[in-house]
Amino acid sequence: MISHNCRCEPFVVQHTDPTTIIKTIVHWQHQRGGEGHCLARVYFQSDTNLKINTLFVLLSEIRSNPRFTGMGADFGDVANALITCLHENKLLVLDIAMTDIYWIAHYGRFSSYDAVGDDTFFHLALAWDGQRFQDLQKEQPLSIQAVQATLSSLNILELESVYQALEAIGWTRHNE
């Protein structure tokens, strides 16, 4: 596939007709050295031919990940690791163009022990070379209302908090 030295664990898959939600901690080899990890939530709907109509990925920086290996400096590798893990675990075997994935970065009080503000979201435009995601081309701030509108289009009524998502997958390191 497109990435090596990556893993996603644990996984939780929820089916809320017609949307599938995958929650996991994605681990990747950071370009600065060492391993990075973040919470990934993948939302998608598919038709009867297994064609994905919408794929929405929300990547949340969590405080158990060392600053040196933060996702903000390595979005292409995070994306490659996540897609590889989803394919290897047969969680994403549906048909979608990689350029059609809607990527969002998410930061907030759960991202650091330092005093940081409320939830902040950025739409990420990642370059795709036909084999791998490359560097970030552009990021655009998003309001919580814009994120909620996207989720609403997938029949998700509200964004689950990072702490709820981490608890759902059994990740306890966020309290370290």
Q: What is the number of helices (H) and of strands (E) in the chain? A: 3, 7
Please indicate whether residue 148 or residue 48 has the higher confidence score (pLDDT).
148
Within a domain: 2? no
Within a domain: 40? yes
59 phi, psi to nearest 5 deg: -105, 120
Residues in the chain: 176
CA–CA dist 89, 104 (Å, integer): 22
Tell me whether the omega of the peptide bond preceding residue 66 falls within 30 degrees of 0, making it cis.
no
Provide the residue range defining the domain that includes 102. 7-175
**Res 25: pLDDT:** 95
Within a domain: 143? yes
CA–CA dist 154, 168 (Å, integer): 20
pTM score, two decimals?
A: 0.91
Within a domain: 1? no
Which pLDDT tens digit goes with each residue over 123-174?
999 999 988 998 788 999 999 999 999 888 888 888 999 999 999 999 876 5
* Structural domain count of the chain: 1
Nearest to 8 by CA among 32, 31, 42: 42
Residues contacting residue 109 through CB under 8 Å, at least 6 positions apart: 116, 117, 118
Q: Do 26 and 87 form a contact (C-beta atoms < 8 A)?
A: no
With 90 as the cut, is the pLDDT of residue 23 above it?
Answer: yes
CA–CA dist 152, 119 (Å, integer): 18
